[in-house]
């Protein structure tokens, strides 16, 4: 599958820190995925560029880097794209794995030839 375009995903993750609300904005060209994550955790907002983004078939993967108490924490996401949703697996560091199904917000110019 070759995708060109932009789409977004709103997600909420229940964590030890409370509910984390995200808006992921992705740009896809060929097998390259770039984008950003805008998050709100307990009223603290931040924006992060996504790293190591890729799309292979209907699977996306990327990394969010988070500075947590002075330490860099890698949050790795993999997701399977559906017609109007994405099923995420979110791996925090080496220990916490969460699975979520979230709705996609598509731009009118997302093309899947």
Would residue 15 count as lying in a domain?
yes
68 C-beta neighbours (distance < 10 Å), count: 11
pLDDT, residue 45, reads 92
- Percent above pLDDT 90 for the chain: 17
Would residue 90 count as lying in a domain?
yes
Would residue 100 count as lying in a domain?
yes
Average pLDDT, the chain: 77
Task: Label residue 104 by pLDDT band (50, 70, 90).
Answer: very low
- What's the total number of domains in the chain? 1
pTM for this structure?
0.76
84 C-beta neighbours (distance < 10 Å), count: 9
Would residue 41 count as lying in a domain?
yes
Q: Whole domain around residue 70: which residue ranges? A: 3-106
- Of the candidates 45, 112, 42, the one whose C-alpha atom is nearest the C-alpha of residue 83 is 112
CATH of the domain at 82: 2.40.128
């Amino acid at each position: 599958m070759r995708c060109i375009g932009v789409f977004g995903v709103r997600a909420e993750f229940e964590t030890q820190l409370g509910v984390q609300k995200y808006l992921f904005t992705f740009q896809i060209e060929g097998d390259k995925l770039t984008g950003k994550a805008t998050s709100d955790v307990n009223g603290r907002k931040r924006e992060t560029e996504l790293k190591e983004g890729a799309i292979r078939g209907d699977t996306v993967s990327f990394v969010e880097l988070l500075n947590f108490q002075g330490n860099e924490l890698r949050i790795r996401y993999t997701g399977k794209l559906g017609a109007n949703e994405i099923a995420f697996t979110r791996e925090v560091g080496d220990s916490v794995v969460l699975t979520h199904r979230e709705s996609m917000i598509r731009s009118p110019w997302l093309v899947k030839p």
